[in-house]
Amino acid sequence: MKTIIITGGAGFIGSHVVRLFVEKYPEYKIINVDKLTYAGNLANLKDIEDRPNYEFVKADICDFDKMYELMQTRKADGIIHLAAESHVDRSIKDPFTFAQTNVLGTLSLLQAAKLYWESLPEGYEGKRFYHISTDEVYGALELTKPEGDKDGRGPYGDEFFVETTKYTPHSPYSASKASSDHFVRAFHDTYGMPTIVTNCSNNYGPYQFPEKLIPLFINNIRHRKPLPVYGKGENVRDWLYVVDHARAIDTIFHKGRIADTYNIGGFNEWKNIDIVRTLIRVTDRLLGREEGADMDLITYVTDRAGHDLRYAIDSTKLKRELGWEPSLQFEEGIEKTVRWYLDNQDWLDNVTSGDYQQYYEKMYANR
């Protein structure tokens, strides 16, 4: 039986990865390590919490002693590292927390894995440290087709982020992720640790914390609250359905080349303002309102500091070498996503109220 530690497994993307591995690989032991900060919620995994091959451990990845103990006591064969602070606005207000979690937390895990695996008779054989990163480390691309022309490679420009694109992070968040990426690669080059890094585009789907655009706006439309759009809403992002990202992680963990990098994207670029208008139309329709009735909720606000204009991932390498590609077009994915949030309003209300945090604080107070 392989033992896989998945960090940040109570979060948005992490919970989908944990669920996929627990259900698909009953012969694996899956250890979900999460600090349960505001973005971690065990309600995301209620459906698999009693599975015999699943275990939850509340722990901080920055606690090196705890990480080393976990590596030893659970005899970990692999790490899938998703735990991170990820909200750009929070990083602008509090960069120290992002450096602590994203950089030092990753270093803590790397060193714990290194010491444990090097102590084994087989060493690094059969082991793998998989680090999940972001497209934001690459910086920004030019918006050369502002009207969304369909000619050429992409609707908003012919340039894409590829695995060899130079790192040019522009926010404290992306700078912290870039630094952690460098540490992961350095541990391979220095110590021979079997590492893999992936950089993914914007994710959306069920269980996303409602500070992010799509769940925040679905909830605001539901309550007829303002929809704050940065600048003119001209910023372009590539969107990927979270279940497709989890599938990609599964594929890369098992088939990816050691010391390699893979980009994961949806070839699915949208301007923010077009995302918002689509959300309004779909949410209104599913709520039984006149489609587009809540367009007047759009409120333009001062643009975010250092707001990158365009991200676009080229995941051709992943498709060509490992056979992965997205399964959903955005229109289908956003319909499923809106429907999920409207069908799970108790989950959404519990998260937005903060009640779930008080519950976990009491649960773990004396442990």
Cβ 313 vs Cβ 199: under 8 Å: yes
Task: Select which of 116, 130, 173, 262 is catalytic.
Answer: 173
Task: Select which of 135, 181, 238, 308 is catalytic.
Answer: 135
| CB-CB neighbours of 46 under 10 Å | 10
* Strand-pair category, 195-200 with 29-34: unpaired
* DSSP for 120-139, written as a single string: STTTTTT-EEEEEEEGGGG-
Active-site residue, 159 included? no
Helix (H, G, I), strand (E, B) or coil at 217: helix
Active-site residue, 151 included? no
* Strand-pair category, 261-264 with 227-230: unpaired
Question: Which pair of structure tokens corresponds to residue 351?
Answer: 């998260």
Q: Which residues lie below 8 Å from residue 151, measured CB to CB, with a gap of 6+?
A: 145
How big is the CA angle at 212 (ends 207 and 216), to the nearest 5 degrees? Answer: 80
| CB-CB neighbours of 50 under 10 Å | 7
Q: Which is nearest to 34 in space by CA: 15, 8, 53?
A: 8
Cβ 207 vs Cβ 276: under 8 Å: no
Question: Which pair of structure tokens corresponds to residue 327?
Answer: 């399964």
Sign of torsion over alpha carbons 232, 238, 240, 245 = negative
Active-site residue, 135 included? yes
Cβ 43 vs Cβ 106: under 8 Å: no
Q: How far apart are the first and last CA of the chain?
A: 28
User: Catalytic site residues?
Assistant: 135-136, 173
